[in-house]
Structure 1
Amino acid sequence: MNIFNKYPYIVVEGPIGSGKSTLARLLANQFNANMFSEKAERNPFLPKFYEDMKHYALPTQLFFLFQRANQISELKQNDFFRNGVVADFFLQKDPIFARLNLDNEEFKLYDQIYRHLEIKAPTPDLVIYLQTPVDLLRARVEKRNIGYEQKISTEYLERIAESYSSYFHNDHNSNVLIVNNESLDILKDKSSLNMLIERILSISSIREYFNPRLT
């Protein structure tokens, strides 16, 4: 069965290094769905942000906000949903990072702009949250060897992971599958992807958990 018949719009989310883009791409290929990618590398402020977070947090965040607003607009205007859509980001991640990285005055400005844009983002039918241990995030960031990402501290990864976890366990109010990502090696083990697909098809409530080690 095609998971996009059950959930036409799926978002895969998680901290940097969680494998969200990889999983989204695999699901798109598996079911011939449309892939909608964040394209974080297009943000010209991002390398500078990892050099000096305090100085470049606001322009980095505002660039992402406008970029995501344009992408959401594109998603709504085109017939992407005919074969299903899987994305490796959703708009709700933007305030998560804004609260994490901006000081109080900067966040007030950001919030004014966010509200002024009045972005009407479609609600995902399902969000797959890849809850990933920080040491695994660290190892994956180092392995993919993107220059500016090597400046990311373990402390910052911990703060991101905590912010994501808090959001999905307490604030997210639509369908979510929280996946223990520690043992889910979808690149090396085809059975892991199949196991996840089977778990998605068996979802019956708004918030569910998947721990592959227990299956």
Structure 2
Amino acid sequence: MPLSKYRYIVVEGPIGVGKTSLAQRLAEHVEVQPLLEKPQDNPFLASFYQDPVRYALPTQLFFLFQRINEARDMAQMDLFQTRTISDYLFEKDALFARLTLSDDEYKLYQTIYQGLSPQVPTPDLVIYLQAPTYALAERVRRRGNRYERSIQDDYLARLADSYGEFFHQYDEAPLLVVNSEHLNFVDNSDDFELLLDRIGKMRGRREYFNVGA
């Protein structure tokens, strides 16, 4: 199996790129329960999209505490299963914080982050999904989440750029960069098999997977 050598896999990417769907598909493929973010549980998120300046800090702090708890859950899950597949990388929390918080708020966030950040295991593989802004916006609108209705394209563009900068420097784990613009891993089994094949052929620390239209 292409995934057999990977004990801890993370799927990452900006809002709307399909990371949760792919993480769920991979987890189903290897028959494990995925470890997923729960943005719908954040009571500040809908307000943040309406008024980012006012609600950025409570939104970000809620996510930070939520992810710390999930990291602890992951440590407990390791006692019961041999493989973990997640739709988020813990370190990316600071990416959102830097994007949304003022300088003073970010300093406060960093103090809390450094004091509470748990020891999180390094993934064996990170799959970073990319897509152009228009594709992200279309996918966000198509899935119709209530709290995402007011997301603006310029925010998605800035978020995608931030992810690009983050993963340009990322070297903590083997990284597969996937252009998902013309791929549908959930509804197209051929696309999913192509991805599995590409993962199985990885030899370097940073590789790329791109399929044209």
Question: Which TM-score band (shorter chain)?
Answer: over 0.9
Which residue number in structure 1 is paired with residue 135 of structure 2? Answer: 136
Distance 1:172 1:153, change over 3 A: farther
CA contact (8 A) 2:131 2:180 kept: yes
Aligned to 2:108: 109
Contact residue 129 and residue 180 of structure 2 kept, 8 A? yes
Matches within 5 A, 1:35-54: 35-54=34-53
Following superposition, the deviation at residue 140 of structure 1 comes to 0.5
TM-score normalised by structure 1 residue count: 0.95
Q: Does structure 1 conserve the Cα–Cα contact (< 8 Å) formed by 2:2 and 2:199?
A: no
Cα deviations by residue, 1:117-173 (Å, 9 ceiling, x for unpaired): 141111111010001111000000111111221100000000000000111112343
Where does structure 2 lack aligned partners over 5 or more consecutive residues? Answer: none
Which position in structure 2 is the counterpart of 1:149?
A: 148
Indicate how the Cα distance of structure 1 residues 80 and 143 shifts in structure 2: closer, same or farther if over 3 A, else same: farther
Q: Is the 8 A contact 1:50 1:149 kept in 2?
A: yes
Deviation at 1:186, TM superposition (A): 1.6
Structure 1 equivalent of residue 81 of structure 2: 82
Alpha-carbon shift at residue 85 of structure 1 (Å): 1.1
Structure 1 runs not aligned, ≥5 long: none
Match of 2:68 in 1: 69
Q: Contact (CA 8 Å) 2:126, 2:176: kept in 1 or not?
A: yes
Post-superposition shift, 1:2? 4.7
Q: % of aligned pairs identical? A: 46
DSSP-derived class of the 2:149 partner: helix
Deviation at 1:81, TM superposition (A): 6.7
Q: TM-score when scaled to structure 2?
A: 0.96
The answer (yes or no) to whether the contact 1:133–1:182 under 8 Å persists in 2 is yes
- Name which of structure 1's ranges 40-49 and 181-190 shifts more when overlaid on structure 2: 181-190
Structure 1 runs of 4+ aligned residues shifted over 4 Å read: none
Moved more, 164-173 or 68-77: 164-173
Q: How many residues align?
A: 213
CA positional deviation for 1:57: 0.2
**Larger helix proportion, structure 1 or 2?**
1
Look up the match of 2:175: 176
Give the aligned partner of residue 124 of structure 2: 125
Which segment is superposed worse, 6-15 or 76-85?
76-85
Equivalent-residue separation in structure 1 for 2:72 and 2:194 (angstroms): 33
